Amino acid sequence: MSSSIIDDYIMTEELGRAGDDLVKWLELAEIAPDPGTLLKISEYASHVAAIAAGLAAKQMEN
The answer to whether residues 14 and 55 touch, using CB atoms and an 8 Å cutoff, is no
Q: Which domain holds residue 44?
A: 3-61
Q: d(Cα 43, Cα 36) in Å, to the nearest integer?
A: 11
Check residue 42 and give its pLDDT. Answer: 92
Question: What values do phi and psi take at 2, rounded to 5?
Answer: -80, 160
Total number of domains constituting the chain: 1
| Residue 1 binned pLDDT confidence (cut-offs 50, 70, 90) | low
> Which pLDDT tens digit goes with each residue over 2-56?
677 888 888 889 989 989 999 998 998 898 888 988 898 999 899 999 999 988 8
Check residue 50 and give its pLDDT. Answer: 92
Check residue 2 and give its pLDDT. Answer: 65
Write out 32-50 in H/E/C secondary structure: CCCHHHHHHHHHHHHHHHH
pTM: 0.75
